[in-house]
Amino acid sequence: MIEELLEGQVRSIVAAIFDLPVEEITMKTSEATIEQWDSIHMISLMIALESEFGITLDVDEVVELRSVELMVTILRNKGLT
């Protein structure tokens, strides 16, 4: 249940950043599936994730923010569940 909550939060953030319905965002949603995914949106994602979860992402982690699945993995690696 808690794992689904984390995934849902990340999906909601991605939906908000890209102004898409949350129902369209899955764990497989990525830079390859969203046309407007660019560096500006990456910065917005980074800020939103840091703010929502009270974390700081390092440069290597920010570079890996290429899909919802990878975002969830990074958050889990930071101890979030």
Indicate the number of domains in the chain: 1
Residue range 56-75: average pLDDT? Answer: 95
Cα–Cα distance for residue pair 24/22, rounded to 1 Å? 5
Residue 81: predicted pLDDT? 75
CATH number, domain at 15? Answer: 1.10.1200.10
pLDDT band at 1 (very low <50, low <70, confident <90, very high): very low
Q: Return the pLDDT at 3.
A: 64
Kindly report, residue by residue over 12-65, the tens digit of the pLDDT.
999 999 999 999 999 999 999 999 999 999 999 999 999 999 999 999 999 999
pLDDT confidence bin for 2, thresholds 50/70/90: low
3-state secondary structure of 81: coil
For residue 35, the enclosing domain spans: 2-77
CA distance 64 to 60: 7
